[in-house]
A and B are shown apart, each in its own frame.
Chain A
């Protein structure tokens, strides 16, 4: 190839810019601007009485000493360690099983596992609200037929985390499975053939050859899951009526920010909570990236 002249390089650059511009504009308008704005208003305080005033980091200091905020963050941590491993193990297992070629009706399974992701989260929550119903819910009626005493699926906040984990796993295992499955489809099949010639069975190929090559994709799903877990909102918010004191207004940082903003009329404090949550998520995403790099993993990010 002939080396490019300076001017053609410049025009290529310009063409590139043209292609990223739509994304970049939306990115700036819908992400960077609100981010900067919420960081900005988190330094102010405006009450129902009295005007807007600059308070520096006062809102952040209040937040660190706010037991409800601390409990909400603690809860999403617990939730992350409870829910994400289960969901990703299911997703990896499903992707490997469908890719193994040993499954009958692989297309059916692929769609069946993925379909909950296509159900709007609110609708999903309404369905699960019925399933978890206290007296006449699906699960408790089932237990009733087996003469087992009713379970209060929202009995306390740890139980509630378990119940929510099941919902989110149902919603997102399929989504993660598709990412992993796509990654598997991208792998070179020569290695499998060689392994098969050497006498390796489907399970051995999955565990020894596919799984190690799947790490970058698993890491990607892990990053998505960190973000998703810390931003837990729709499920506790929608199901709040099922257990008002357990799925309360500080069940997760996002639920708390919403309540503080719209029930409490403390928009500045809500911005503080949201902005901090962004920082926390970024921090853990970076930690996860560093850990994966140290392990020699080749990140997709």
Chain B
């Protein structure tokens, strides 16, 4: 209460100032910014403990930097589990209206989900006035709308192809430029040695979604807050699904589950010779396949036509939970860990290996010069920066993305593994998703 009062006083003073300074040529906008900064400054000088949920390796480094800068603030960084595990806890907390952190890592693809659940605080009043211009347009569009800003972008996941150049060269192959070449190479590689495959089947819904994205699928569009367009069964999605289904049916791809120790071992033992993966996959392969260090390279994702185009997979933000009692301090923490120049650069280095979303880091020499020995000294970030520029634009996520992914696993992946009709499976995915959306009260169009 008292702090509210004080803030009121500050605001009153500032608005009086604004009125008077307007005459002196200062815009009201600048005066407002001054008021916002005052609220943040005050919060950062008040002893506060903030809880921050994140599964990002190395996030503690940026948190330490924040605590060193603002010693009054204690940050409890907790890893409650990655991705879905954390989201389920947030959703349970939102339903119970308690038990939530002040700040949490949320992937771009789940921002609409948490927005519709009223889980994200509007941090626009507390962040820098040029906040949105620090990121490329397609990134800032995903965290903001006309009314506010709901998350601080952390990293993105432009996709490329990580491949074993040593084995490819031995077989007289270059990195496949098109998916047609990828399919031909798949057969050659497996027939040359029955224990090796061009890659694993894309078993992960988000991974496959990135490939649909690349092929031009744009399945979701909000017509309004209560009306959604759903078009999961377009020709691009069917083409990509059939492509992978055919490779599995021909026996040229193994169907190993992702994210298991077995999957890591398969990379290390040379069972998979490539992986169409996001930028952060650079780190995944580095830790999984230590024995093959020096033999991996990055190449652009194979394409469906001659135009270079990529998709995106993953990429996170740091969002302030709507339930926080320390909004100003929490917003400052979220903004700091991702946009403070030192912190933002640290995110791109070991052990995090985030692909940055801040223009200033994206273009910095220090970042672009990174040349890990694991990738034979290739300037992999320079390569991924090029892929990043070709990521298909205007992609929208649904406000129930995890349900969409669960249904993909049940309908589409299941059909691929059972060597069934992939087109029918994609149609079923569409039908099940539409049914779900209607059940949740949405008006659904399917253009």
- Contacting pair B399 A48 (CB below 8 A): yes
Interface-forming stretch among B128-136, B243-251, B255-263, B361-369?
Answer: B255-263
Closest to B195 in A: A135
Interface-forming stretch among B46-54, B87-95, B165-173, B292-300?
Answer: B87-95
Encode contact with B along A32-73: 1 for CB under 8 Å, 0 otherwise.
Answer: 000000000000000111100000000000000000000000
Known contacts: A48-B440, A135-B256, A244-B409. The answer to whether A263 contacts B266 by CB under 8 A is no
Known contacts: A47-B440, A48-B400, A50-B441. The answer to whether A263 contacts B84 by CB under 8 A is yes
Closest to B415 in A: A245
User: B residues within 8 A CB of A130?
Assistant: 261
User: A residues within 8 A CB of B116?
Assistant: 48
Interface check A259, CB cutoff 8 A: yes
Encode contact with A along B314-331: 1 for CB under 8 Å, 0 otherwise.
Answer: 000000000000000000
Specify the main secondary structure of chain B where it touches its partner: helix
Q: How far is the CA of A133 from the CA of B116 in the complex (A)?
A: 39
- Contacting pair B226 A264 (CB below 8 A): no
Interface check A248, CB cutoff 8 A: yes
Specify the main secondary structure of chain A where it touches its partner: loop
Interface check B358, CB cutoff 8 A: no
User: B residues within 8 A CB of A243?
Assistant: 257
- Contacting pair A245 B413 (CB below 8 A): yes
User: B residues within 8 A CB of A265?
Assistant: 91, 117, 400, 403, 440
A-contacting residues, B261-311, CB 8 Å? 261-262, 265-266, 269, 271
Interchain CB contact (< 8 A) of A134 among B225, B256, B269? B256
User: A residues within 8 A CB of B92?
Assistant: 261-262
Closest to A68 in B: B410
- How far is the CB of B260 from the nearest CB of chain A, in Å? 6
- How far is the CB of A183 from the nearest CB of chain B, in Å? 40
- Contacting pair B260 A133 (CB below 8 A): yes
Interface check A162, CB cutoff 8 A: no
Interface residue count on the A side (C-beta < 8 Å): 28
Q: How far is the CA of A137 from the CA of B257 in the complex (A)?
A: 13
User: A residues within 8 A CB of B262?
Assistant: 133-137
- Contacting pair B410 A245 (CB below 8 A): yes
Interface check A276, CB cutoff 8 A: no
- How far is the CB of A30 from the nearest CB of chain B, in Å? 15
Interface check B406, CB cutoff 8 A: yes
Closest to A269 in B: B439
- How far is the CB of B87 from the nearest CB of chain A, in Å? 8
Encode contact with A along B208-233: 1 for CB under 8 Å, 0 otherwise.
Answer: 00000000000000000110000000
Interface check A100, CB cutoff 8 A: no
- Contacting pair B261 A262 (CB below 8 A): no
- Contacting pair A263 B403 (CB below 8 A): yes
- Contacting pair A263 B406 (CB below 8 A): yes
Interface check B414, CB cutoff 8 A: yes
- Contacting pair A263 B260 (CB below 8 A): no
Interface check A241, CB cutoff 8 A: yes
- Contacting pair A249 B256 (CB below 8 A): no
- Contacting pair B441 A263 (CB below 8 A): no
- How far is the CB of B188 from the nearest CB of chain A, in Å? 22
User: B residues within 8 A CB of A242?
Assistant: 257, 260
Closest to B88 in A: A262
Interface residue count on the B side (C-beta < 8 Å): 37
- Contacting pair A248 B409 (CB below 8 A): yes
- Contacting pair A264 B403 (CB below 8 A): yes
Closest to B228 in A: A49
User: A residues within 8 A CB of B441?
Assistant: 47-50
Interface check A129, CB cutoff 8 A: yes
Known contacts: A241-B259, A242-B257. The answer to whether A263 contacts B88 by CB under 8 A is yes
Interchain CB contact (< 8 A) of A245 among B84, B88, B414, B436? B414
Q: How far is the CA of A266 from the CA of B92 in the complex (A)?
A: 12
Interface check B55, CB cutoff 8 A: no
- How far is the CB of B257 from the nearest CB of chain A, in Å? 6
User: B residues within 8 A CB of A129?
Assistant: 260-261
Interface check B203, CB cutoff 8 A: yes
User: A residues within 8 A CB of B417?
Assistant: 245
- Contacting pair B442 A241 (CB below 8 A): no
Encode contact with B along A230-260: 1 for CB under 8 Å, 0 otherwise.
Answer: 0000000000011111001110000000110
Interface check B402, CB cutoff 8 A: yes
Closest to B90 in A: A262
A-contacting residues, B154-168, CB 8 Å? none
A-contacting residues, B75-101, CB 8 Å? 84, 87-88, 91-92, 95
- How far is the CB of A277 from the nearest CB of chain B, in Å? 19
Interface check A267, CB cutoff 8 A: yes
User: B residues within 8 A CB of A261?
Assistant: 92
Encode contact with A along B418-438: 1 for CB under 8 Å, 0 otherwise.
Answer: 000000000000000000100
- Contacting pair A249 B261 (CB below 8 A): no
Closest to A242 in B: B257
User: A residues within 8 A CB of B266?
Assistant: 135-136
Known contacts: A136-B265, A241-B258. The answer to whether A262 contacts B414 by CB under 8 A is no
Closest to B271 in A: A135
Q: How far is the CA of A82 from the CA of B406 in the complex (A)?
A: 28
User: A residues within 8 A CB of B436?
Assistant: 264
User: A residues within 8 A CB of B84?
Assistant: 263
Closest to A259 in B: B406
- Contacting pair B442 A48 (CB below 8 A): yes
User: A residues within 8 A CB of B226?
Assistant: 49
Sample of 13 more A-B contacts, CB < 8 Å, known A47-B440, A48-B116, A241-B257: A48-B441, A50-B441, A133-B265, A136-B269, A241-B258, A242-B257, A243-B257, A244-B257, A248-B414, A258-B88, A264-B400, A265-B400, A265-B440
B residues with a Cβ closer than 8 A to A are 84, 87-88, 91-92, 95, 116-117, 203, 225-226, 256-262, 265-266, 269, 271, 399-400, 402-403, 406, 409-410, 413-414, 417, 436, 439-442
Identify the 8 closest CB pairs spanning chains A and B, nearest first. A47-B441, A49-B441, A50-B441, A262-B88, A133-B262, A47-B440, A48-B440, A136-B265
